[in-house]
Structure 1
């Protein structure tokens, strides 16, 4: 429980805040309780959608220096709560409506229905950007020629062999974008491709920064630089996980502040899970847990990219990811701990 103490404290504060926000907008106790309930549902959805994110975070965080690990758990938390759950939705409306951020905030506060409509109108581009970035994350893991531990061998062994081909994951990703765009209406295919390619470029840039900073790790300064690159990577990864959850939350409520509270509670629990996975060395003890997380990321990316044709409710997406990770966990118990854990 020590890992989740701060998360429970924030949960209590957040739910109390959601009660008062609901009472302010609704004017009745019933509306206040409804807002509290919605914030709770959003928190659970965020955890279910981002559980695999916690595992991937742990796999990166274990290689960071203590000071950068602390910065991720403090500065990164501030970015996750206020950056992705408040500023990001405001920026979307700012761009879509061609207004300034202050006007977007006023619209969210006083005209929530109009604000939600503008947010949802950008769902195609947001899903394409986030889905492409996450697809690159998953493909880069499986198309790794140096990967020796395989869970589903008939999928992962051929992928590892193909990983010897330079930039094969980028080629697959571009092919996926082109195929999907062919089935979109004339007015949407270009926007989808541009947003998807932006997600691909973002991944390449972030990965390139990491490769540059990790080029030499002979001194403590270089190790700190490498940790800084990992910090950037984790923040972009967290943002990609947040895209679908933030936009999808508007299908449940149009109140930006309830959404921010609910998703932020979930983000706190994801950070707590990350710390627990690192300190308990869960990835070493459970051989296929990391594999399951990347499979879940691949499924989430696929769902985001195919959303224009086939929309899954957020709880279904979260449930699918949770089931994959659970199966990987049970399979890991069957195999036993890895040599490093032993």
Structure 2
């Protein structure tokens, strides 16, 4: 299982490190290795969230996630995205932005760092919406029941998550965004308007992509329920309708989402991955300002996160350890707050990574205790969503 799931990531790691050593020497190899570890530590919670969504998709869209999605994650977010940010914020054409990134790394780092408030506001609000919609939704299983149960009751108020996110954005805009230190520490600049605009854009992106994918998912579920009811009626007239209905429902959920619902769910996955990559891309500048070293190191780390996502789905880990998704969403909430704070203040990536690891580790241990208490520690989950092998 481990070799089949992580095999390609290991092969690419060896090739990537060998290439780095050949082109940039031992120092370049070390930088790429450090960036890979940085990306993995910062994005572990991303793998848990991705697994929770990936298991809803059918085999075809799972393959798309593992092929096209990897290309988007590695080349799009770790190579193209920083250059695009430079082009937009510096108001230069993409060709000149590439030239700056390749030929003038110091200026490139300066331009990307100055764009950080907008990046942090967009990603922070997007991730905050994910956390709020999770924590304000009533669910059968609660990890921190003393907190989640009351919040779920409050969540019955329409658009409460939007209101809270907007308030958080306003607080950030009126506090940390009013005096953002310039790169190099030479004075400050007011980024209030930039932060407000980027934060609203992050919310719009979440509402549009998440709303459309949710709409098609609900539509598909309604169609399945209608088919199940029809089969149940037909089966009851013949004899044993309940058995037919059960078989139908089992087969439907095993197939997973397809068509428009799967497409927008895939887009939602990619936007989530993009939001998680923001802190990694910005944090990488503390290690190097060489764009190709950065892309290679972060790309290798992104491959392991994709492999970990597949591993979690194949093993049915989220079914066995039911609090993992809770821990991952709390980590998302913490990362959202950290991103908004970093608009002005620098927070070490070690702290950012440790917050996620500690929360997910606590959720895992709580799940183990729950399984032992219920006598389910060695039991198989009721249903597995198999990610297609051969990718």
TM-score (norm 2): 0.82
Give distance in 1, aligned partners of 2:320 and 2:32. 34
Aligned CA distance change for structure 1 residues 222 and 260 (closer, same or farther; 3 Å):
closer
Deviation at 1:340, TM superposition (A): 8.3
User: Which residue, 100, 110, 119 being the options, matches 2:103?
Assistant: 110
Tell me what 1:144 maps to.
137
TM-score (norm 1): 0.93
Contact 1:130 1:240 in 2 (8 A): yes
1:164 aligns with 2:156: yes
Tell me what 1:57 maps to.
50
Residue deviations 1:251-290 (CA, integer Å, cap 9, x gap) = 2111010000010010000011000100100001001111
Residue deviations 1:177-204 (CA, integer Å, cap 9, x gap) = 1112121327211111111111011100
Contact 1:142 1:159 in 2 (8 A): yes
User: Which residue, 235, 251, 262 being the options, matches 2:286?
Assistant: 251
Structure 2 matches for 1:59-208, cutoff 5 A? 59-145=52-138, 147-183=139-175, 184-185=177-178, 187-208=190-211
Give distance in 1, aligned partners of 2:82 and 2:306. 21
Q: How many residues align?
A: 332
Tell me what 1:25 maps to.
none
Residue deviations 1:112-161 (CA, integer Å, cap 9, x gap) = 1111111111011101101110110111111113x121111121111111
Structure 2 matches for 1:39-50, cutoff 5 A? 39-50=32-43
Contact 2:54 2:313 in 1 (8 A): yes
Aligned CA distance change for structure 1 residues 20 and 287 (closer, same or farther; 3 Å):
same
Tell me what 1:335 maps to.
370
Contact 1:19 1:35 in 2 (8 A): yes
Deviation at 1:168, TM superposition (A): 0.6
Structure 2 unaligned spans of 5+: 180-189, 225-254, 383-391
Structure 2 matches for 1:209-228, cutoff 5 A? 209-217=212-220, 218=223, 223-228=258-263
Give distance in 2, aligned partners of 1:326 and 1:211. 29
Tell me what 2:235 maps to.
none
Contact 1:214 1:223 in 2 (8 A): no
Residue deviations 1:192-230 (CA, integer Å, cap 9, x gap) = 111111101110001121123224223799832211111
Give distance in 2, aligned partners of 1:265 and 1:296. 22
Contact 1:7 1:269 in 2 (8 A): yes
Give distance in 1, aligned partners of 2:39 and 2:206. 23
Tell me what 1:20 maps to.
22
Structure 1 unaligned spans of 5+: 23-31
Give distance in 2, aligned partners of 1:151 and 1:133. 23
Give 3-state SS (helix, strand or coil) of 1:310's partner: coil
Deviation at 1:38, TM superposition (A): 1.1
Tell me what 1:296 maps to.
331
Give distance in 2, aligned partners of 1:314 and 1:221. 36
Q: CA RMSD in A?
A: 1.8
Give distance in 2, aligned partners of 1:298 and 1:221. 28
Q: Deviating runs (4+, > 6 A) in structure 1?
A: 219-222
Moved more, 180-189 or 220-229: 220-229
Aligned CA distance change for structure 1 residues 85 and 222 (closer, same or farther; 3 Å):
closer
Deviation at 1:167, TM superposition (A): 1.0
Contact 1:68 1:224 in 2 (8 A): no
User: Which residue, 301, 309, 332 being the options, matches 1:266?
Assistant: 301
